[in-house]
Structure 1
Amino acid sequence: MLKAPQILVRTLVLAASAAALFGCGQRGPLYLPTGPAAGQRATLPETLTPGSSAGSSAGATQAPTPAASAPR
């Protein structure tokens, strides 16, 4: 017979597995956008440390670009 801790662990594992399978909700393949709007987006290092981007000048700030629409 199963004891309460075993039932709890199995329930949590089942819930975590269900969340991993159904939690994303994304359809279709992953892609990297290559359009002109994608060229103006920040790279990962610029996102993590916005003040120390190597490619920008010290005092220059840029207005954020509007989000591009998703491909069909």
Structure 2
Amino acid sequence: MLRASQILVRSVALAAAMASLGACGQRGPLYLPTTPAASQRATLPQTLTPGQAETAPAPRTAPASSTTP
């Protein structure tokens, strides 16, 4: 059975963990910056692989639907 000190320590640790997780992140809604300075920033793929040139993804085409009368 748990002793009172173990219950107190666990509850304080849980409260501290919840408070630290609740304080993470940016306040307010997320948005994509549209300023000219933001267009010069690296994208995530460019950041992960800085030596490779960025290639445009191939356009996706919808599958052809076959309708039979």
State the partner residue of 2:22. Answer: 21
Amino acid at match of 1:41: R
- Which ranges of 4 or more aligned residues in structure 1 deviate by more than 4 Å? none
- Larger RCO: 1 or 2 (CA < 8 Å, sep 6+): 1
User: 1:12 and 1:23 mapped to 2: Cα distance?
Assistant: 17
Distance 1:32 1:6, change over 3 A: same
TM-score normalised according to structure 1 size: 0.53
Larger Rg: 2
Q: For the aligned residues, what is the CA RMSD?
A: 2.5
Amino acid at match of 1:9: R
TM-score normalised according to structure 2 size: 0.55
User: 2:18 and 2:52 mapped to 1: Cα distance?
Assistant: 39
- Name the % identity: 52
State the partner residue of 2:37. Answer: 37
Alignment size in residue pairs? 54
Structure 2, gaps ≥5 residues long: 56-69
Structure 1, gaps ≥5 residues long: 56-72
